[in-house]
Amino acid sequence: MAAPLLERLRDLPSAGPVLAALDGERHVWAVGGAVRDLLLGGVPSDLDLVVEGDAVAVARRAAARLGGEVLVHERFGTATVRGAAAVFDLAGARRESYPRPGALPVVELGAALADDLARRDFTVNTLALRLADGELRGVPAARGDLEARVLRVLHDGSFRDDPTRLVRLARYAARLGFAVEPDTAALAEAAVATGAPATVSGERLGAELRQLAREPQPAALAALAARGLGRALLPGFRVDRELLQRALASCPPDGRADMVALGSALRRAPVPELTARLRALALTTGEADALVACATVDTLVNELRGARPSAADALLSHGPLEAAVLAAAAGSDAARAWVERARHLRLSIGGDDLLATGLRGPAIGRGLRLARAALLDGAAPDREAQLAAALAAPT
């Protein structure tokens, strides 16, 4: 099975030039998700390569074959090969140890492949394919767990060492559709109960949450809610599958579906605590604003009840689009109409038109706002009516 697997890898458009550049290198392995996905019959999205030995020397030889260049990261034992046909990274095999729970690992280079595989998160991510001949390796349980479609940690201290693996457990469960092996589930529950997430930096947890929000939904958020992890990370976290599915179904291309998904689980979350937590997780200002607005979506729905289209536009146009999408999913017809149609309406007149009528200064802005309100409310469908509405603005 290994040789056909290597041929499948070689046939991938993104992988073919990489393997050609590494031709003849006996100690280079494709590892982790790429091998896992190939064995599952999928197409890997990226290729992680590990070298038993000197990764920098291998990278230099590969660059020479490509007629490219090498960027060396001596501290991390990695190198980036850049050529016209391919750009890829090579990492030296390494061991890792954790000086304390949640700390970044201490890395020791020059390890054997088996040591490198033993530092990984789940057994199904330890599979390695040698590029020279297609030999397949992994920790003892790897192939069996892959066939059984289960996620299993490599040792009992895995979540204690690196609590971000708790979020990754939810991510992989959703993406792959795998079950969590019972002992691993018990270890995850114990890690959450004893406060393991608090031992790792908020920035690292926030990075994992961003990725989880982009996984298949509602499976990813449901997996995060399991064993109390969602509430341990975000105050007020609660998954409403129906609301989430309605919101994602109506999220337009220019909206962030990942923030809509995460925001749906934060409806009615306490705003002060949520704001502080999002800051600690190092989310961007835009992401945090969207999630806080989603937390108060019930207030928004009430404000929109019975509102004219122009009043709805005034409420929604200055807030995050994601909150408007969630308000529509929560039952606001005004929000739905604004998301689907009203926000896209454009006036047939502009500032120059109002200047030509003699308006000056702030009166122009007021005129355009009045014209837009009339357009939204159906009172000014054409240019003449919009000009008339604009000129009704007090000077």
Predicted confidence band of residue 1 (pLDDT cuts 50, 70, 90): very low
Q: How does residue 395 score in pLDDT terms, banded at 50, 70 and 90?
A: low
Give me the residue spans of the domains in the chain: 1-147, 149-233, 351-391
- 185's tokens: 């589930």
Look at the alpha carbons of 236, 238, 243, 247 in this order and tell me if their dihedral is positive or negative.
positive
Q: Which residues, in sequence order, are bridge partners of residue 31?
A: 48, 128
Averaged pLDDT of the chain: 95
Tell me what the mean pLDDT of segment 48-66 comes to: 95
With a cut of 80, say whether residue 363 has pLDDT above it.
yes
Nearest to 325 by CA among 340, 305, 306: 340
Instruction: Residue count of the chain, please give it.
Output: 395
Q: Please say whether the beta carbons of 271 and 334 come within 8 A.
A: no
- Domain 149-233, what fold? Hydrophobic Seed Protein (1.10.110)
User: Residues of 104-131 as b/e, b for ≥16 C-beta within 10 angstroms?
Assistant: eeeeebebebeebbebbbbbbbbbbbbb
- Identify the band that residue 393 occupies on the pLDDT scale cut at 50, 70 and 90: low
What mean pLDDT comes out for the span 200-212? 96
Share of the chain above pLDDT 70, in %: 99
The whole-number average pLDDT for the span 282-303 is 97
Going by C-beta distance under 8 Å and a sequence separation of 6 or more, which residues neighbour residue 328? 247, 250, 335, 336, 339
Amino acid at position 278, single letter: L
179 forms beta bridges with 150
Between CA 188 and CA 186 the distance in angstroms is 5
In this structure, which amino acid lies at residue 291? L
Mean pLDDT is lowest, of 42-46, 241-245, 270-274, for: 42-46
Residue where the block lists tokens 């060396």? 72
The tokens 């990754």 sit on which residue?
Answer: 168
Q: Tell me the Ramachandran region of residue 130: left when phi exceeds 0, alpha when psi lies from -120 to 50, beta otherwise.
A: beta
pLDDT in tens, 223-266: 999 999 999 999 999 999 999 999 999 999 999 999 999 999 99
Contacts 24+ apart (CB under 8 A), 328-331: 328/247, 328/250, 329/243, 329/246, 329/247, 329/250, 329/264, 330/243, 330/267, 330/297, 330/298, 330/301, 331/301
Contact 261, 225 (CB under 8 A): no
Q: pTM value?
A: 0.91
pLDDT tens digit sequence for 317-358? 999 999 999 999 999 999 999 999 999 999 999 999 999 999
- The pLDDT of residue 2 is 54
Distance CA 197, CA 212 (A): 16
Whether 137 and 113 have beta carbons less than 8 Å apart is answered as: yes
The pLDDT of residue 45:
81
Q: Are 291 and 283 spatial neighbours (Cβ–Cβ below 8 Å)? A: yes
Predicted pLDDT of residue 118: 95
Which candidate, 129, 128, 125, places its Cα nearest to that of 158?
125
76 has pLDDT over 90:
no
Cα of 303 vs its chain's centroid, Å: 31
Q: Which three-class secondary structure state does DSSP give residue 178?
A: coil
Q: Is the pLDDT of residue 392 over 90?
A: no
Half-sphere exposure of 175 (CA within 13 A, CB side): 19
Of the candidates 319, 379, 367, the residue with the CA atom closest to the CA atom of residue 343: 319
φ, ψ of residue 18 in degrees (nearest 5): -65, -45
What does the pLDDT read at residue 14?
84
Alpha helices in 67-141 (DSSP H): 113-118
DSSP secondary structure letters along 324-377:
HHHHHHTT-HHHHHHHHTGGG---S--HHHHHHTT--THHHHHHHHHHHHHHHT
pLDDT of residue 74: 81
Among 340, 347, 335, 339, which residue's Cα sits nearest to residue 373?
A: 347
Q: Is the peptide bond before 218 cis (omega within 30 degrees of 0)?
A: yes
pLDDT at 12 over 80: yes
User: Which residues, including other chains, have CB under 8 Å from residue 341's CB and lie 6 or more apart?
Assistant: none
Q: What is the pLDDT of residue 46?
A: 86
Query: Which is the CATH superfamily of the domain at 1-147?
Result: Beta Polymerase, domain 2 (3.30.460.10)
Position 387 scores a pLDDT of 95
